[in-house]
Amino acid sequence: MRCFVTGGAGFIGSHLVDELLEKGYKVTVFDDLSSGRKEFIQHHLNNKNFSFIEADLLDFNLLNREIKEHDVVFHIAANPDVRIGMQKPEVAKKDILITYNVLDAMRENNIKKIVFSSSSTVYGETPPIPLPENYGPLLPISVYGAAKLACEGLISSFSHTFDMQSWIFRFANVIGKRGTHGVIVDFINKLKKNSKELEILGNGKQKKNYLYIKDCIDGIVFGFENSKEQINLFNLGSHDATEVTRIAEMVVEEMGLKKVRFKYTGGDRGWKGDIPRFQFDITKIEKLGWKPKYDSDEAVRKAIKDLIEELGSVSL
């Protein structure tokens, strides 16, 4: 199978590339390195089954040429920063446009399968706990979530109109090695600068589901290989949820720090568009035969260890 991976030099994309190559597939990565890093795919550069194109998906002519002869597109590229929508709502426009380009290039080149990285943010404000895939109406409260929902709509409509097959995974918070953003990276970096005090956005009671990166990749590949509907939609997360203050405590413990003062910025959420509490119902993918290896707290602990090793501990 020849796989085209947009965003394959990013956190999730590069782990997916590792797994696809491990399974013996051919992989082309198309990534502009806007938030991805070449070092995440460096170890594959001499592999004859691997090629890398550094370019922006807005360049339709190039995309249309390079996507030829592939069997499936894993469309992982997007600006992953939910918070940035407050200052730069135009990132949503770009993420919708690049998804349109990917689908249109697939249509022109008769490529019939797309796997998409969506998000829990499509569900909007205070969804029920646990949250099943058929919850609605879907009214996102962040521009990031709105862009993801728009992309899901485009994928669904192209699937029906041009006889494509799609797999849409709504991820929880994915964490682990090569993570470049999110609450754990934020806490480690802040504590490296000041090991006495940690600023925590909101009141620390935000409670969300975290999924370890290996479980995420495993779930994507399992869902793709084992579900055969025209549109296959799954929540991809783990069991239960972890409070932000608990994450801060675990980071402090793992960094070997003591007497760190937590300073809360206040309010029930970290930023406008943040959903303070969510927990997925993952029965649908479990019924298919997949379950995560790590629950939310275990995923957080494992990711903290990975990231401390990568980012380095405090320089006291």
Candidates 2, 25, 35, 313; binder of ligand NAD (CB under 6 A) is 35
Q: Which is nearer to ligand NAD, 260 or 280 (CB)?
A: 280
Per CB under 6 A, does 36 bind ligand NAD? yes
Question: Which residues in 66-105 contact ligand NAD (CB under 6 A)?
Answer: 76-80, 98
Per CB under 6 A, does 13 bind ligand NAD? yes
Per CB under 6 A, does 10 bind ligand NAD? yes
Candidates 92, 106, 155, 174; binder of ligand NAD (CB under 6 A) is 174
Per CB under 6 A, does 202 bind ligand NAD? no
Candidates 2, 19, 33, 271; binder of ligand NAD (CB under 6 A) is 33
Contact between 202 and 248 (Cβ < 8 Å): no
Q: What contacts 284, CB < 8 A, 6 or more positions away? A: 132, 133, 234, 235
- Give the number of residues in contact with ligand NAD, rule: CB under 6 A: 28
Candidates 109, 117, 209, 242; binder of ligand NAD (CB under 6 A) is 117
Q: Which is nearer to ligand NAD, 80 or 124 (CB)?
A: 80
3-state secondary structure the chain: CEEEEECCCCHHHHHHHHHHHHCCCEEEEEECCCCCCHHHCHHHCCCCCEEEEECCCCCHHHHHHHCCCCCEEEECCCCCCCHHHHCCCHHHHHHHHHHHHHHHHHHHCCCCEEEEEEEHHHHECCCCCCECCCCCCCECCCHHHHHHHHHHHHHHHHHHHCCCEEEEEEECEEECCCCCCCHHHHHHHHHHHCCCEEEECCCCCCEECEEEHHHHHHHHHHHHHHCCCCEEEEEECCCCCEEHHHHHHHHHHHCCCCCCEEEECCCCCCCCCCCCECCECCHHHHHHCCCCCCCHHHHHHHHHHHHHHHHCCCCC
Q: How far is the CB of 196 from ligand NAD (least distance, A)?
A: 29
Per CB under 6 A, does 292 bind ligand NAD? no
Per CB under 6 A, does 150 bind ligand NAD? no
Candidates 5, 28, 31, 242; binder of ligand NAD (CB under 6 A) is 31
The residue count of the chain comes to: 316
Q: Which is nearer to ligand NAD, 37 or 257 (CB)?
A: 37
Q: What contacts 271, CB < 8 A, 6 or more positions away? A: 82, 83, 86, 201
Per CB under 6 A, does 12 bind ligand NAD? yes
Is residue 212 flagged as an active site residue?
Answer: no
Q: β-strands 113-119, 197-200: how paired?
A: unpaired
Catalytic residue from among 123, 135, 144, 294: 144
Q: How far is the CB of 87 from ligand NAD (least distance, A)?
A: 17
Q: Which is nearer to ligand NAD, 29 or 164 (CB)?
A: 29
Per CB under 6 A, does 115 bind ligand NAD? no
Per CB under 6 A, does 171 bind ligand NAD? yes
Q: How far is the CB of 161 from ligand NAD (least distance, A)?
A: 23
Enzyme catalytic residues: 144
Residue ranges that bind ligand NAD, judged by CB under 6 A: 6-7, 9-13, 31-36, 56-58, 76-80, 98, 117, 119, 171, 173-174, 180
